[in-house]
Amino acid sequence: MKNFVGGALAAFVIGAVSVSAQAADLPSIKAPPPPPVVDTYQPFQVRLKVGGVIPLDGGATIYDAGALNPVVLGAGGPLSFGLATLRSGGPGTVVPGATTSISWSVIPMLDVAYYLNKNWAIEAICCVSHHHIQGTGVLAGSSLARTWVFPPSLLLQYHFTNFGAFQPYLGVGVNFTAFWGTRAGNNSWGLTTVPGSFASNVGIPGATASFYSASISPSWGVVGQAGADYMFNEHWGVNVDVKYIMMEPNAHAYIIANSNFGAINPIFIPVKAAVKIDPLVVSAGLTYRFGGGMLAPVLANY
């Protein structure tokens, strides 16, 4: 009996070793590697939006550009109308209390961007808006000018991509603003003289005036930007955006005035204005990204 048990145990050990050796000779089968993850990076972007252009200031510093008339001097008064009416200290000086306000506007907007990578992009912004510049203070009641504004901007942006579909960004760049189709207001308003001035003492309490000529020079400025996209998929999303543009152009205009002192009518008064517009541009619209298929697939690093 002892010999039988010992033989059975020996046979079991030998069989186990044989099966193990055969298993070691079989080829090993490994799980296939996961497929590479293809990035959905789209380098080109177009946004169609509606925006509001809201001047944060709109005020201006008005300068006497030198209204001279020998008739006034011949009547014993100063050669400058600014001095004759005490509305300024003479050519080149500020007209106290004279300033402006500027209307806001709602406009369509187009933004075009190229992504250097998933985070950095260069964006060009284009729009056209129409504004009305009106006089306030001493110029209250006057319509200085109406003008079209073309303010293209170029910005460098950084996009945050670690919030999933919500992708905020910041941008900074340069703005160039051109003004075209500028025309003077041509409305009539009352221009008064200061009591005790030469004009008032000779019987000219005021005049009926209007801006009959106006022009606005182009301006350069810095633009700052903050916004966010919410992407529904790799191509389509919605956008909200806020921009602040430093816009401070110079305006040149002529006032034509007629008073009850017929010998010097009409009176032509040139003025210059340093206008602070500094608009806030608030916009919202659609985002479309494309162009990923134009480049070789980019393998994301995970």
Burial state string for 161-178 with b = 16 or more CB within 10 A and e = fewer than 16? eeeeeebebebebebebe
In this predicted model, what pLDDT tens digit does every residue of 159-199 receive, in sequence order?
Answer: 999 999 999 999 999 999 999 999 999 899 998 889 988 88
Residue 272 has pLDDT above 70, yes or no: yes
What value does the mean pLDDT of the chain take?
Answer: 85
Burial of 96 (0-12, 13-18, 19+ CB in 10 A): middle
**pLDDT score of 155:** 98
Q: Is 208 helix (H, G, I), strand (E, B) or coil?
A: strand
- List CB contacts of 2: < 8 A, sequence separation 6 or more: none
Closest CA to 46 of 292, 285, 300, 296: 285
Burial state string for 98-136 with b = 16 or more CB within 10 A and e = fewer than 16? bbbbbeebebebebebebeebeebebebebbbebebbbb
Q: What is the DSSP letter of 10?
A: H
**pLDDT score of 284:** 98
Residue 230 has pLDDT above 60, yes or no: yes
Q: Read off the tokens for 226.
A: 């903050």
Residue 76 has pLDDT above 70, yes or no: no
Residues of the chain above pLDDT 90, percent: 62
Q: Of 4-13, 47-56, 157-166, 254-263, give the lowest mean pLDDT range.
A: 4-13
In this predicted model, what pLDDT tens digit does every residue of 108-129 receive, in sequence order?
Answer: 999 999 999 999 999 999 899 9
- What are the distances in angstroms from CA 30 to CA 4, 33, 158, 216, 289? 43, 9, 43, 75, 40
Domain limits of the chain? Answer: 41-292
Global pTM reads 0.78
**pLDDT score of 280:** 96
- As a whole number, mean pLDDT of residues 48-52 equals 97
Q: Read off the tokens for 73.
A: 């001097």
Residue 20 has pLDDT above 60, yes or no: no
**CATH placement of domain 41-292:** 2.40.160.20
- Where do we find the tokens 């430093």? 246
> What pLDDT band is residue 295 in, cutting at 50, 70 and 90?
low
Pairing of strands 98-102, 236-245: unpaired
Residue 36 has pLDDT above 60, yes or no: no
d(CA 95, CA 131): 24
- List CB contacts of 32: < 8 A, sequence separation 6 or more: none
**pLDDT score of 17:** 43
